[in-house]
Structure 1
Amino acid sequence: MDTNRGRADAERRGVPLPDAGAMVDEHGRAPGTPSRTGTGAGPPADPVRVAAAPAAEGSSAEVSVLVSHCDRAGAGAVLDVLARAFPGMTPPAPARAAAGPAVDPSIWAVTVDVRRRAPGGGPGARPASPVRAELDGAAASVRQVRAVLEEAFAGEHLGTVSGEHEVQVALRLTARDDAPGGRTGGPA
C-alpha cells in the first residue's frame, strides 16, 4: 500500500537527473564545467610537462638488474650475456674497502636499456653454481631482459611482484644442459 500517494514533497520527487533538466551533473558540477579527465574543454596542457613526457617514457625502457648469491665468476657470466645483448650497459664497479684492495661485492647492480638491443648474443661463460637475478622495471622491458637471460641460461622463476607500473621478477639461473660445453654424464 502506498501511503505517499498524492504527496508532492521533495522526498517524493527526488533530485532530477541531468537529462531531466537538472542544473548539475551527476558529480555536482554545473553544466559546461570541465572535469579533471573530461572533454578537454579545460586549460591547455603545460608545455614543460608535455616536453618532459618522452623523457619519462625512456625510463620505462630501463631495467634494474641485481645479481647475487654467487661468486664473481657467476656474476660475470650473467653480466657478460647482458653486456653483449644490450651494448652500452655500464659494468658494475667493484666495491672497494677504505684504502684497501678491491673486494667481491655480494650484489652486482646494473641498469639495462632495452632500446639498445643487439641481435644474437648467445651463451657466454657458464656459472659453476646457481646465480640469482632480480629484474625490476616496466613489464615489457623486464620480459625482454628475462628472455635474453633464459636463452643463455636455464632459468627457474622464483617469484614476481607486480606494481602499478612496474614488475619485479626473481630468477635462479644455472648453466643450460643443452648449451655447447654443457654438462655431460649422469644417468642415460
Structure 2
Amino acid sequence: MDVNHGHEDPERDGVPLPDAGAMVDEHGRPPGVPSRTGTGAGPAADPARVDAARLPEAPPQGPSGEAEVNVLVSHCDREGAEAVLGVLAEAFPGMTPPAPVPAGAAVSPVAAPNIWAVTVDVRSRVPGAGLRARPASAVRAELDGAAEPVRQVRAVLEDAFSGEHLGTVSGEHELQVALRLTARGDAPEPA
C-alpha cells in the first residue's frame, strides 16, 4: 500500500530508502556524504578546544569563587586583627588585603574600624606556612565559602592560634564557621 500517493518528493524520485534495502540515510544520502547543516558543513573545529577536550579530566574546580573564602575579623583591636591577617597573608599569599579606608574618612585610634574583611584564595596556599601568633586580645573570625576551602583556612588559623568553635551553618555547597581565636596557652576570655 502506498501511503504517499500523490505526495511524492521530487528530490527522492528513484532513490531507494533504507526500509527498501538501500544504503542511504533517511534523507537519501549515501554513507559519508555530509548534510548541509551537520558535520562537515560548518567551519573546522578550533584546535585549542579539541586539544583541551582530549586532556585527562582534572578534578572539578567549579567557578573560581569555590576556592575563595571570605574572612571577617572582628571584636578585637587593630593589633589582634593584624595578627590574624598576618597569619593568613603568610599562608595564602594570594589573599586580597583588607579594603582601605575611603579618602576623607575620619581615622583616629578611637574610631578605628572594628571589622576587617579579606578574601583568601586557598589555591595560593604555601605548604608549611603559618606562624604562632599572639593577638593582644581575643579575636572573632567568621569564615564563609565552599566547605573544603573553609576547612583549610580554619586549619591554618587553629594551627596558629587557640581556636574556640562558636558555631557552624551548613548550606548545600557552602559552610560558615565562627571562631574565637586567642594566643596559644592563654585562657579564653568571657565573650
Range class of TM-score, shorter chain: 0.5 to 0.7
2:175 is matched with 167
1:86 is matched with 92
Q: What's the secondary structure of 1:145's corresponding residue?
A: helix
Q: Percent identity?
A: 74
Cα displacement string for residues 41-71 of structure 1 (whole angstroms, at most 9, x for unaligned residues): xxxxxxxxxxxxx884321100000000000
Structure 1 residues 96 and 56, CA gap change in structure 2 (3 angstroms): same
Q: What's the secondary structure of 2:117's corresponding residue?
A: strand
Contact 2:132–2:161 at 8 Å: present in 1 too? no
2:22 is matched with none
Residue 132 (structure 1) aligned to one of 133, 140, 163: 140
Q: Report the structure number with the largest CA radius of gyration.
A: 2
Letter in 2 for 1:175: A
Q: Distance in 2 between matches of 1:146 and 1:115?
A: 15
* TM-score normalised by length of structure 2: 0.60
5+ residue gaps, structure 1, are 1-53, 178-182, 184-188
Residue 64 (structure 1) aligned to one of 55, 59, 70: 70
Contact 1:155–1:173 at 8 Å: present in 2 too? yes
CA RMSD between the two structures: 2.2
Q: Distance in 2 between matches of 1:95 and 1:105?
A: 9
* TM-score normalised by length of structure 1: 0.61
1:28 is matched with none
Contact 2:99–2:117 at 8 Å: present in 1 too? no
Contact 2:132–2:159 at 8 Å: present in 1 too? no
Moved over 6 A (4+): none
Q: What's the secondary structure of 2:143's corresponding residue?
A: strand
2:43 is matched with none
Contact 1:123–1:153 at 8 Å: present in 2 too? no
